[in-house]
Amino acid sequence: MKTIFTPLTQNGNFNPGLISNFQLPNLPIEKRFFVPEKSEFKKSKEPIQLPARNQRILESFKKYLLDNKYKSGSVETYCYVVSHFMAHYEKFDIRRISNEKVLEFLNQHLPEKNYSISYQNQAYSTLKAFLKYMGKCIRFIELRNRPKSPKKEKQPGNKNQILKMIFNIANLKHRFVLALFYETAIRKNEFLSLKVEDLNLGSRYLRIKAKRGKEERLIPLSDTFMVLARNYLEKYTPGIFLVEGISRGPYSPEAIWTLWKDALKSNELPHNTSLNFIRQSRIKHWLDEGVPRSFIREWIGTDSLRGWGRE
């Protein structure tokens, strides 16, 4: 037996004084959807037309999200998914929709129409929040049954190929930039904030300053890199930032991207790789060289080397 009760009044307003007694029927747990090879669906930017009653409910739900400090982008996405759900069951009273209909929408309609994995997960999160707002039971949301995109294996580059690419760069400054990325596996945003004082030639380490509660990191540098670093500092004499851009200001992300794409053009490495390719490759090479995982985690500023074998 199930009782469907909604905290919405006849005009679509929310009444927090009402509670629900919505019970989930005893359904077998099974994998209820498939992962399409390629999504053919692109979310429409046009708003979905709804009956006046459902439109009032949607506006009330939007106000509920804003009152609970949801970001504007999330509110827009949630409202779109709810309007999609309402339009799919246009002939039904959305205030008294059964959980079987919700399951049908999530586990049959979306996969069969080749909606993307990302959109399916958005629908799960959205309807979970919407049904909570409506006062309905949300136990049917089985997180372990959510669709998942297949994980891509990390494919680092060959060490000799990467070193060849770096040392074939004629411009000393550009060569130093890519060598620094490979030597330290530094992140792009960390690189852009590096100061001259962060490179310690005497003790042979690079300092990454602490951010967002993380500890300061000291990354050791090799003899080969130290020779390149001294040549770079002697020729360019940077003032504040370790690598300077226009008017001796910080280097720009666009300049890094252009440098990286130019370096790939005359190399055997895949031309569609991102700059993170160097970071992934350096981690793999450290592991191959027998560097302890605890050292690598400290150097790259992460708590786990997930995706690189057993911890």
pLDDT tens column, 170-212? 999 999 999 999 999 999 989 999 999 999 989 999 998 876 5
Q: Find the distance separating the first CA and the last CA of the chain, reported in whole Å.
A: 49
Query: Residue written as tokens 């089985």?
Result: 142
CA gap 205, 222 in Å, rounded: 9
Strands 199-200 and 205-208: antiparallel
183 token code pair = 């030597």
- pLDDT of 139: 52
Give percent helix, percent strand, percent coil of the chain, each to the nearest 5.
50, 5, 45
CB count, 10 Å around CB of 207? 16
Task: Report the pLDDT value the prediction gives residue 42, as an integer from 0 to 100.
Answer: 43
Residue 19 has pLDDT above 90, yes or no: no
Contact between 73 and 81 (Cβ < 8 Å) = no
pLDDT in tens, 20-72: 343 434 444 333 334 344 444 344 456 677 777 778 888 888 888 888 888 88
pLDDT single digits (tens) 207-242: 988 765 567 889 999 999 999 999 999 999 999 999
Alpha-carbon 251 to chain mean position: 24
CATH number for domain 159-300, candidates 3.30.420.480, 3.10.20.30, 1.20.58.1610, 1.10.443.10: 1.10.443.10
What pLDDT is stored for residue 136 in this prediction?
A: 60
Q: Where are the domains of the chain?
A: 1-150, 159-300
pLDDT in tens, 248-280: 888 998 999 999 888 888 777 777 788 888 988
- The overall pTM is greater than 0.85: no
User: Which residue from 138, 139, 132 is spatially nearest to 7, judged by alpha carbons?
Assistant: 132
**CA dist., res. 98 & res. 32, Å (int):** 18
Question: Which residues does residue 217 pair with via DSSP β-bridges, in sequence order?
Answer: 208
Nearest to 281 by CA among 246, 261, 303, 308: 308
Q: How many CB atoms lie within 10 A of CB 176?
A: 23
Smallest CA-to-CA distance from 221 within 175, 169, 181 is with: 181
Tens digit of each residue's pLDDT (9 = 90 or more) over 107-140: 888 888 888 888 888 888 888 888 888 776 545 5
